[in-house]
Structures are given as structure tokens and as C-alpha cells.
Structure 1
């Protein structure tokens, strides 16, 4: 059974960098799938932010490309998101 546990601050202030980490259990993050970051702004549909592939390659939403960075730590079975220069428009769950 694959389980994902997200960790990071609930809130960041405008202009700061949001850092989130997802820890995977029950599956290897190098086993042939991409791991996506998806958010949901209040009252809106899901928004794809980007992903990191099993080989470490990344792809980002064009609207976030200048501010987003996704990385991984295979030894900890974690992948991480950094979103810089956040604004109130980035509010989401």
C-alpha cells in the first residue's frame, strides 16, 4: 500500500519561499513513475504545479516555471517542492 505524508509550514508570508516535502512509504520513488505536486485554490479546480520523474527529471507548469523547483532525496524516499516569491494569489491547499 502506497502512502504519502506531506510536511511543511501551513502558512508563509508574501515574498517568502514555500517549502513542502512528501515522504513516500510502500513504494520506491525510483520505480518508473512521476510524482506530481497538485494544489487546489479556494473554490477552484485542482491545479497541476509540476512533477519529478523516477530518474530525477522534472517538468513544471509554465505559469510557475520561474518560481518552482522540485527535487528528491532517494535515500529518504522524499520529494520536495519549493515555490519562491509567493503572493496571496498562490493561496491553496
Structure 2
């Protein structure tokens, strides 16, 4: 947990290729609508990849060009929670997923649980 900000992320998910999965990132300790929320993917043994970011204030999103086809970021501002959905899962989606608020995105990432390969 970074500084005085709390992030609670949903538990590990096991899915089959072709399925969808939706991850949650519950936050507290800062004004949710004041900062972008970033999502990051790390496949074991590889460099981290930036998936994109969402502005909770207006729902505006920016995606990495390699991620925008199957990845969808949303927020539920009423419960200060960010979501990442991946559709049409592939084996290469087996990774650790991180969410981070904008001011922390260059200082460290908070881990989402692993999505094992089937």
C-alpha cells in the first residue's frame, strides 16, 4: 500500500480462453475524481506494459494501441472503484495486473492478482 492511500483489489480469477474477466480496484484516501487511474500489465519475465488510463471525472480513456481492442476501463465513482475488463481472453493475458493513481504511477504499482493460464 502506498503512503496513506488504500487500494483493495479483487481476488485471483481463473478463466478459459475466449472468456471475459472484470477486475476491480477499490480506492480510498484521496479524491477519486481528481486523478487518473492507470492500469498496467506484467507478464512474468517480461517488461511491464501500460494498458491505459481513465479519468473518473468524465470517463475519458486513453489506451495503448496494442491493448485497446479487448481491454475496457470503467469506474464506479459512487464506490471509488476502477474496473478493467478483458474480453476474448488469450493465453498471453495470463499476467499480474496493477492499478495506480496518476500521482503514483511513476513511483510504484499496486498488484492485482494473477490470472493463471488454463
TM-score (normalizing by structure 1): 0.90
Contact 1:51–1:70 (CA under 8 A) maintained in structure 2: yes
Q: SS of 1:64's equivalent?
A: coil
Q: Pick the aligned partner of 1:20 from 18, 23, 28.
A: 23
Shift of 1:18: 1.6
Question: What do the CA deviations read for 1:40-83 (whole angstroms, capped 9, x no partner)?
Answer: 10101111111111422111111121111111111101010001
**Gap runs ≥5 in structure 2:** 97-118
How is 1:2-81 mapped onto 2 (pairs within 5 angstroms)? 2-31=5-34, 33-55=35-57, 56-81=59-84
State the number of aligned residues: 92
Q: How big is the shift at 1:5? A: 1.2
Q: For residue 9 of structure 1, report the CA deviation from its aligned partner.
A: 3.9
Instruction: State the Cα RMSD in Å.
Output: 1.2
* Equivalent position SS for 1:44: coil
Q: Secondary structure at the match of 2:46?
A: coil
Which consecutive unaligned segments of at least 5 residues does structure 1 have?
none
